[in-house]
Amino acid sequence: MEVTLHPSYLAKSYYPAGLIDALGLHHLGSRAVHVIPDKVVTAKAEESGKAQPAPVLYLAGDADRLIEFSRAVANWSPRDENIEDAFRRIESVTVPGRNRLKALSSRFDGRDTIPMEVVLHNPDELGNSEVILTFAEFLRSLDVRFDLNRQRQSGGLAFLPIVAPRERLDDVLDFSFLRVLREAPRIVPFDPVVRSVGRGFPVTISTEEAVAPDLSVAIFDGGLPVSHGLDQWVTLRDAAGVGAAVASAQAHGLAVTSSFLFGPLSQGQPVQKPYANVDHWRVYGDTDSTSDFEAFDILDRIEAVLTSRRYDFINISLGPDYAVDDDDVSPWTARLDQILSNGETVATIACGNNGERDRLKGLHRVQPPSDGVNMLAVGASDSFGSDWKRASYSACGPGRSPGYVKPDFVAFGGSHSSPFLALSAVQPHAASGTMGTSFAAPLAMRSGAGVRAQFTEPLWAPAVKALLVHHANGDETTRRETGWGFLSHGLGDLVLCDDYEAHIVYQRLMPTTGAVRLYLPVPDGLTGMVEIKATFSFFCEVDPEDAINYTRAGLDIQFRPDTTSLPAPYYKGAKLITPTVPASDSFFSAKNFYATEHMQRDDAQKWETTLSRTKTKRASSLNQPAFDVSYVAREHGHGGRRSANMKFALALTIRNRSAKDLYDRVIVSSGNRLQAMRPRVGVQVPIRLPR
């Protein structure tokens, strides 16, 4: 069944666990739907008459028991008032409908049978094999071909490829545990937006070692040409089961690898020094170009590598060619989010070159797996000057919620007027212009590796992710197109402080009980206004079957401008309230984070894995200011356990025009709480790029 609750009951505390247990039901998953409720139950006048986000719960139970309950419901009187109250929150109850069949493209117009991807509810508590085996028997009765060996499980969802006669698609929907039936995705071809822009030019490759050879980096792509000449920094590996190399895929892999190693090339300029060595994993072969289910096979190859090896950074510039869906999660997104949830790896993902597709149908939105919450979705800018804009081909947001801000940011990806110059030939090396998010993503990974390579202190993946988002230069009005903004590929812009400012990085393991207080090192004696920019980032486990409650962890962040005093007692009605904690001031809230028509629920931003905002306060109002950070947990939309190893990071910038030496004053005033980050021996301090 699909049970829709009233929009006022989105928070995890309203989950009707008692009612579900009383009726002997099982939770299968959830998604969001926008409804106009029959009754407004809160004082928010703006809610009346407007569609609001409401939770839809997928529930399963014994049919006979439900029929018996429906006959007796008029006289039903539960003993528990909480169960009775939960029943009142139900807006509607339906069986799964025909909307589970997603719109088909013209790709298979000439075929009588269509390769499809099936998503099934397959929860652990019902036995992982029961639903799958029953579905297989059902498909045999319909004369629909399937391959159980390709079935993949992510959380409570099973993904299975089938080949169905066109006239049988509606019949497949009769299986009640089927959540989605959609066309099998094709992998985005290895052609950039354009093959080349302008004339090529020769490139002389340096022989310098990488700055930080201890960093482990992987690129998953189409391989490299024979005698590529990058052996000093690149180890070429073939994933298990991959077919023979394809020339166009190798050319794509060469340009992607060039972007990470050297950044955008410049004719007549020396090639930049690589920050790290890289394993280039070839995951695409000639058999994939003729397969209807290459997306399943390529994901299997990437997963096999990531579950057997640990990497500090990975880049993926390929993926399924369809836009993100608010209701359901791609197997690419689900599996990679699960693998990366431990917070050990920074993953940059090209968000797609579909930005010019139909906006009314949402076909311009980011493509999986860039909608993942444990990954960085990278879009493309048309230049890297101060007048940059989103490249017209670069996919747009929003992402799913949580994961609303997608792409996370944009990096230079090239345009007709300012192409991305990357290696295009070997022996001798030559470069030519190209463009695409495929090259912006590894350029962003290069920036992240550069930050890690710069310092002796080991920065965790959440800290690197926070720093990249923190230094993205953007505008809230263009957030849906460019995320948090434009990421400079100049290392100096990411690791150096200007006059009148100080950058601070905190990284912590969240305790399983209590809260963490992070002091903002605002020195005494400042005058005027103090600008505070804060970016929080963390990695967490996910529930793929619960699209509306996808993340299992969140941060409750309270900003306290003055931690040295308590507010005066006050009356609330007739009751005297005596505060026991310093007063808080709003810093992050759904109102300044979400678009009003998307998912503006009171606690929505709490479940986002990345938050960034700038706030200005009078210096006189700040007295040992701090963020109090609490860890909130949920599973399947209701209360859950806290993970014992959830990492989070805070990137913080303080600016004040009365203190040119603010950085030095912050170090002195912080005592031993803060330490200056030290560059590696022999690493030159980079210059700032002109703005």
C-alpha distances out from residue 222 to 254, 322, 442, 554, 657, Å? 8, 20, 14, 36, 50
Determine how many CB atoms are found less than 10 A away from the CB of residue 74: 6
Q: Given phi > 0 = left and psi -120 to 50 = alpha, else beta, which region is 227?
A: left
What is the C-alpha separation between 473 and 662, in angstroms, rounded? Answer: 22
Determine how many CB atoms are found less than 10 A away from the CB of residue 640: 17
Give residue for tokens 């006289």.
75
Q: Is 536 helix (H, G, I), strand (E, B) or coil?
A: strand
Read off the tokens for 8: 């006022």
88 or 610, greater pLDDT: 610
Determine how many CB atoms are found less than 10 A away from the CB of residue 578: 9
Q: Do domains 2-95 and 194-494 have the same CATH topology?
A: no
- C-alpha angle with apex 468: 466 to 474, nearest 5 degrees? 105
What is the C-alpha separation between 680 and 691, in angstroms, rounded? Answer: 27
- The per-residue pLDDT for 598 is 46
Output Rg (C-alpha) for the chain, integer angstroms. Answer: 26
What is the C-alpha separation between 485 and 472, in angstroms, rounded? Answer: 5
- The per-residue pLDDT for 612 is 94
Residue at 386: amino acid letter: S
- Find residue 153's DSSP bridge partners: 158
What mean pLDDT do residues 590-608 have?
62
- The per-residue pLDDT for 691 is 52
Residues in the chain: 691
Sequence-separated (6 or more) residues with CB below 8 Å from residue 476: none
**Whether pLDDT at 596 is above 70:** no
Determine how many CB atoms are found less than 10 A away from the CB of residue 526: 19
571 or 538, greater pLDDT: 538
**Whether pLDDT at 125 is above 60:** no
pLDDT tens-place string over residues 460-504:
999 999 999 999 998 888 999 999 999 998 888 898 999 999 999
pLDDT band (50, 70, 90) for residue 44: low
- The per-residue pLDDT for 195 is 61
For domain 2-95, the question of CATH label 3.30.70 is answered with: yes
Residue at 631: amino acid letter: Y
* β-pair type (346-350, 376-381): parallel
- Fold of the 100-183 domain: Alpha-Beta Plaits (3.30.70)
* β-pair type (313-316, 346-350): parallel
C-alpha distances out from residue 589 to 229, 403, 582, 600, Å? 51, 15, 19, 10
Sequence-separated (6 or more) residues with CB below 8 Å from residue 283: 220, 221, 222, 239, 242, 298, 301, 302, 318
Q: Is 227 helix (H, G, I), strand (E, B) or coil?
A: coil
C-alpha distances out from residue 71 to 65, 74, 75, Å? 10, 7, 9
pLDDT tens-place string over residues 390-416:
999 999 999 988 899 999 999 999 999
What mean pLDDT do residues 57-81 have?
88
- The per-residue pLDDT for 69 is 87
3-class SS letters over 415-463: CCCCCEEEEEECCCCEEEEEECHHHHHHHHHHHHHHHHHHECCCCCHHH
What is the C-alpha separation between 171 and 168, in angstroms, rounded? Answer: 5
Range of lowest pLDDT (92-101, 193-202, 492-501, 681-690): 681-690
Domains of the chain, residue spans: 2-95, 100-183, 194-494, 497-669
Q: At what angle do helices 294-306 and 331-339 cross, to 10 degrees?
A: 0
CATH assignment, 194-494: 3.40.50.200
- The per-residue pLDDT for 194 is 60
Read off the tokens for 12: 């995890």
**Whether pLDDT at 66 is above 60:** yes
**Whether pLDDT at 46 is above 80:** no
pLDDT tens-place string over residues 158-181:
999 999 999 999 999 999 999 999
pLDDT band (50, 70, 90) for residue 240: very high
151: closest CA among 160, 140, 143? 160
- Mean pLDDT of the residues in the chain: 90
**Whether pLDDT at 45 is above 50:** no
pTM for the whole structure: 0.93
